[in-house]
Chain A
Amino acid sequence: MSHAATHDHHDDHHGAPKNFFQRWCMSTNHKDIGTLYLVFALLMFFIGGSFAMVIRAELFKPGLQLVQPYFFNQMTTLHALVMIFGAIMPAFVGLGNWMIPLMVGAPDMALPRMNNLSFWILPFAFALLLSTLFLPGGGPAGGWTMYPPLSLQSDSLAYVVFAVHLMGISSIMGAINIIATILNMRAPGMELLKMPVFVWSWLITAFLLIAVMPVLAGAVTMLLTDKYFGTNFFNPGGGGDPVLYQHIFWFFGHPEVYIMILPAFGIISEVIPTFARKPIFGYKAMVFAIASIAFLSFIVWAHHMFAVGLPMGAEIFFMYATMLIAVPTGVKVFNWVSTMWGGSMTFETPMLFAVAFVILFTIGGFSGLMLALVPADFQYHDTYFVVAHFHYVLVTGALFAIISATYYWLPKWSGRMYSEFWGKMHFWNSVIWVNVLFFPQHFLGLAGMPRRIPDYNVAFANFNMISSIGGFLFGASQLIFLGVLIHGVFFSKKKATDRVWEGAKGLEWTVPSPAPFHTFDVPPVIHDDELAHGHVND
C-alpha cells in the first residue's frame, strides 16, 4: 500500500472503535452511518406499521369499535409522516451511504462529519414528532399534508413544524453530501456515464431534495406564523388563501414523490441485470429517463389539487404534463423487461422482489394515469382509490425496492448469507397479502368510500374486511423479514463470497465480504469489464 489514506488521528485507522458511543455517535464512517440509517428506518417502519394496524383494525368492521375518530385521524397523519420521512427516505439515504462510496470507488462520503449530523438529527426529530401523542391535545390529526385551516387548530402544530424543519435540515445535508461524493470523490476512470444506475438515481434525487425540502420548510413556517404570530397567509379574510398552502406544499410534494421512487428505480436497475446475467438494456435511456422524470416532477404539482377549484387552463396544463410522465416511466419499465428478456434468470429473493416491483409498481403507475385525468379525478379524489394508488407505488414500489436492496447487499454488509428459504417465505407472504390488502381498496374507492374516515357505509364492509385481513397478515409477514435480518446479520453460518451473486458486476463486489471498515483507501484501478455499465460508450 503505497498511498495510505491520511487520517489526522490514527486511532480509527485499522478498524472500528471499541467504545460504543465513539463508534456510533461520533462516527465519520459511511458504513456505520449507513447502518444507523437503515436500523432507524427499520424501527420507524415497524412504528409506522403499528399505526397502520390500528387503522386497519378500526376499519375491519363498519361503526366505531376500537378508537375515537380524533385518535384515528392522528394515526393516519402519523402513519404517513413516519413512513415517508422516517422509514422510506432514511432507508434510501442509508443505502446510498453504504453503497455510493463503494460503487464509485471512494474511501468515504465527501463530508463525513456532516453525514453523521444528518443522521443524528433524525432520531431527535422523530422523538419530537411522536412526543405529541403523549401531550395534552394529542398528535397532529389534520393529515400529513397539514392543510390549513384544519392543521392550525391543533397545539401539536409547533412540534410538527419543528420536526419537519429538522427532517428538512437532515435531508438537505444528506443530499449535499451525496452530490459532493458523486461529483468529487469518484475514482479515476469512473466516468459519469459509467456509474451504476443506482448512483445516477441518487444524484438526481439529491438534487430534487435540495430543491424542494426548503420549499416545504417555507410552507410549514408560514403555518407556524399563521398560528402563533398573527400572519394571514392562509386566511382569505386577510387577503390570503388556504389554496396557496396547497400550491407550495405540492410544489414540494410532487418532487417528494419521486424522491421516494427514483432511488428505487436505481436499485431495480442494479438487481435485475445481476440475476438476468445481462447488462441493463438501454443504460443511457435509463439515466435520461430518470432525469426527465425529475424535470417533469416540478411542473405537475397541481394534479394533487384538481378538485380544489383551479382555473380550467391550469387543470388542463397539469393534466397533460402529468400524463407526459408516463413516457419516461414507460421507458424504464420496458427496459427492465428487455433486460430480463433472453437472460439466464434465477430467482433469488432480491430478484423476486424486483420482479414484483416491476409488475406491481406498473399497476400503481396505471392507476396514477387514471387519477391524472381531470374529469375522472373529480370522482376519485380523496377516495380509497387514491389510497390504493399511492400504496401500490410506495409499498410495492419503494418499499419492495428497499427490501430487494437489503437482501441484495446484506451479504456484502454482514459477510453472511441470509436464509434463502425464509427470504422466499417473506417474499411470497408479502406479495400475496399486500395485494389482498390494497387491491380491494381500488374497488372501495371507485364505489365512493372516502379516505381518512374511521367509519363507513355498510356497503363497503366486505372489501374492508378483506383489506384488513390482508393488512394484518402483511404486517405479520414483516416479522419474518426481521427474523431473516437478525439471523442473516448475526447467526447465519453460511459465509458470503466477495462476489456474492454469480452475475453481480460493479466495484462494490470487488471488496471483501463483509466490507472492511475502510475501503478504497487507495483509488482502485478500474477495468471496464468490472463495471456493470463499463461499455456504454462503445
Chain B
Amino acid sequence: MDQSHEAYFVPSKSYWPFVAAVVMFTTVFGAAHWLNAEPGDSGFGKTVLTVGVIGVLAMFFGWFRSVINESLAGSYNSQVDTSFRMGMMWFIFSEVMFFGAFFGALFYIRMFSIPWLGGEGHGVLTHEFLWSDYAASWGANAGNGPQHIGGAFRTVPAWGLPLLNTLILLSSSVTVTIAHHALRAGHRGKILAFLGLTVLLGALFLNFQAHEYIEAYRELNLTMHSGVYGSTFFLLTGFHGLHVTLGTIMLAVIWFRVLKGHFNKDHHFGFEAVAWYWHFVDVVWLGLFMFVYIL
C-alpha cells in the first residue's frame, strides 16, 4: 500500500473507448437488421454486421496494443495492477451470473416445466386439457415437449466425446498452471511449451465440440429446434464453446507475448487474467458435463 500511494497513475485520454462504442453499435445494428431481413433483402444488415465485427476485432487489437505498450513502458504501478485484478475478478463474476441465468433455465425446465406439462402437481389442468397423452421425461423424445417439436431425436451420450472433452479441459487447466509456475520460476522454454500445449488442448476441445454438433444435427436429429432439450443443450454448450474460443484466442495472444518477452516473474497480470478466465471456463464445463450430459 505504501509505495503504491507515492504516485497515482491516471491514463492519458484515448480514442479507443469511443471507437469501441461505435463499433459495438455498428455490430448490433447490423445484426438486428440482418435478423429482421426479409427474403430478397439487399444484405445491408449482413454488411453492417461484418463491418462491425471487423471493427470490434480491430478495436481490441488497437486498445490492447496501447495498454501493452504502456505496461511495457513501466507506467503501471502496483495500485493500477490491483485495479486490473479487481476488474478481471468482477468481470468473471458477471460471467458466472450470465451462465447462472442459463443453468437456472435448465433447472427450472427439468424440475418444474416438463414435469408440470406431464401433469404433475401444479400443472395438472394444462396436462388434462391440452396434452393429456404427454408422458414427461427429460432426454430423448420427451425433452422436446408435448408437441414433440423438431421430431424424434437422440441425446449425445456423456461417456463418448463429452468425457474426452472433460479430460482435455481438465488437463489444459493443469498445463496452464504448470506454465504459470514456470513463469514465476523464469523458465521461458517451459512456459512456451506448456502454454502452447494449453492452446492446442483448447483448439482440440473446440474441434471435438464441432464434431459433436455435426453428429447431433446429422445422426441424432438433435437440433436447436428439438424442443426445449435442444434449446438448453445448444445454448449452454454454445455459449460455453464461445467462451472457450475467446479463451483460446486470449491464450494464443499471451503465448506470443511470452515469446516477445513481455512478462517477468513479478509482472504478468495479462497472463494471470487469462489463466483465471481459462479456469472459469473449465469450471463451467464441469457444470455442463454434470447437468447437461450425465444427469
A interface with B by C-beta (< 8 Å): 3-9, 11-12, 17, 22, 25-28, 106-108, 110-114, 116-117, 120-121, 123-125, 127-128, 155, 158-159, 162-163, 165-166, 169, 172, 175-177, 179-180, 183-185, 188, 210-215, 217-219, 221-222, 224-226, 228-233, 235-241, 244, 247-248, 251, 309, 311, 518, 520-521, 523
> What would be 5 A-B contacts, judged by CB atoms less than 8 Å apart?
A7-B12, A28-B10, A172-B91, A176-B86, A218-B105
Say whether chain A's binding surface is mostly helix, strand, loop, or mixed.
Answer: helix
Partner among B22, B25, B105, B149 whose Cβ is within 8 Å of the Cβ of A238:
B149
Are B83 and A111 touching (Cβ within 8 A)? yes
Q: How large is the interface on B (under 10, 10 to 19, 20 to 34, 35 or more residues)?
A: 35 or more
A230 and B226 alpha carbons, distance in the complex (Å): 9
What chain A residues lie within 8 Å of B83 (beta carbons)? 110-111, 180, 184-185
A266 and B268 alpha carbons, distance in the complex (Å): 38
Whether A25 contacts B18 in the complex (CB less than 8 A), given A128-B28, A162-B32, A311-B121, comes out as yes
* Residues 86-118 of B contacting A (Cβ, < 8 Å): 86-87, 90-91, 93-95, 97-102, 104-105, 108-109, 112-114, 116-117
Query: Among the interface residues B8, B25, B87, which one has the most CB atoms of the partner chain A within 10 A?
Result: B8
A175 and B93 alpha carbons, distance in the complex (Å): 12
- Contacts A159-B32, A214-B97, A226-B231 aside, 19 further interface pairs with beta carbons under 8 A come to A7-B11, A11-B12, A25-B15, A26-B18, A111-B87, A114-B87, A127-B25, A155-B36, A162-B29, A163-B28, A176-B91, A184-B79, A214-B101, A215-B104, A231-B228, A232-B228, A232-B230, A236-B145, A239-B109
Nearest to A122 among chain B residues (CB) is: B21
A116 and B17 alpha carbons, distance in the complex (Å): 6
Say how far B178's CB is from chain A's closest CB, in angstroms: 30
In the complex, whether B82 has a CB less than 8 A from a CB of chain A is yes
Are A211 and B97 touching (Cβ within 8 A)? yes
Say how far B36's CB is from chain A's closest CB, in angstroms: 5
Say how far B47's CB is from chain A's closest CB, in angstroms: 17
A4 and B240 alpha carbons, distance in the complex (Å): 46
What chain B residues lie within 8 Å of A239 (beta carbons)? 109, 113-114, 117, 142-146, 149, 227-229
Nearest to B83 among chain A residues (CB) is: A110
Query: Among the interface residues B1, B22, B75, B145, which one has the most CB atoms of the partner chain A within 10 A?
Result: B145
In the complex, whether B13 has a CB less than 8 A from a CB of chain A is yes
In the complex, whether B253 has a CB less than 8 A from a CB of chain A is no
Are A26 and B146 touching (Cβ within 8 A)? no
A27 and B16 alpha carbons, distance in the complex (Å): 10
A113 and B16 alpha carbons, distance in the complex (Å): 8
Are B11 and A219 touching (Cβ within 8 A)? no
